[in-house]
Amino acid sequence: MNINVVKTTGAIYKSEQDIPKVGEKLGKEDFLKLLITQLRYQDPTKPMSNEQFIAQTAEFSSLEQMQEMNSNIRAFIESQQRISKASAISLIGKNVTVNKSAFSLSSDKASANLTYNLPKDAEVTVTIFNSLNKVIKSVNLGKQNAGTHSYLWDGKTNQNSHAGKGDYSYKITAKGADGKEIVTNNMVSGRVNGISFEGNDLLLSIAGSFYPLSALVKVSPDYIGG
């Protein structure tokens, strides 16, 4: 039987079809196949030195360990994702607070409890925007002490009409005694009525809006809001 022997970069193959293509990833089986092929078709008058053989064997062993490590890491990540999903599902029906400025009104006459945290005493103003980012409500709450506070919006605009069902957002403007603006954490409270799994993201459904599980701040025993 005739064998067409092809030599490239120190390795010898039976045919050009056996030569790895540029850009292809080599697994441990491919690496072992290359090593065996190289040993099988090496020049008997110039055999591979012990140092070369040991070096290539060490590379194969290292590759095998890396692939096993990658498999273990993938298994660990999948396990953590299953645990996270189970934890998220257990939140359905519970009352939570999430750190997010966006929220929704579930009905035309619903209200919303808007929570925020002040790092220090400040003069506070709450501004509410509709889905078009237009200001529909602005309330000066006066001076408040440092800590967590909430503003129960009755769902009415500056014209005292109901804003209606839909998506909204709010901004807390807080100014210290020196007149400088203070950064606050905006939070929304509500009941978790569903969970959405989108890729690797876990989203909590609260009053028709979705918030990432990572935004969860607190799980409360009592429901507040509309």
pLDDT at residue number 216: 83
Regions of the chain with pLDDT less than 70: 1-32, 34-35, 38-39, 41, 43-61, 63-64, 76-86, 198-201, 221-226
Distance of alpha carbon 90 from alpha carbon 96, whole angstroms: 12
Are 150 and 177 contacting, i.e. CB atoms less than 8 angstroms apart? no
Q: Point out which residues pair with 151 in neighbouring strands.
A: 114
- Name 3's Cβ contacts closer than 8 Å, sequence gap at least 6: 14
From residue 221, give the alpha-carbon distance in Å to each of 12, 110, 191. 71, 21, 10
pTM exceeds 0.95, yes or no: no
Neighbour count for residue 193 (Cβ, 10 Å)? 13
pLDDT at residue number 224: 45
Q: Is 22 exposed, middle or buried (0-12, 13-18, 19+ CB in 10 A)?
A: exposed
Are 189 and 113 contacting, i.e. CB atoms less than 8 angstroms apart? yes
Residue of 15, 44, 43, 36 lying closest to 5 (CA atoms): 15
Neighbour count for residue 123 (Cβ, 10 Å)? 16
Are 93 and 213 contacting, i.e. CB atoms less than 8 angstroms apart? no
- The separation between the first and the last C-alpha atoms of the chain, rounded to the nearest angstrom, is 83
Are 164 and 108 contacting, i.e. CB atoms less than 8 angstroms apart? yes
pLDDT at residue number 43: 64
Domain boundaries, the chain: 21-87, 95-220
**CATH class assigned to 95-220:** mainly beta
pLDDT at residue number 191: 87
Kind of pairing between the strands at 147-153 and 185-198: unpaired
pLDDT at residue number 147: 92
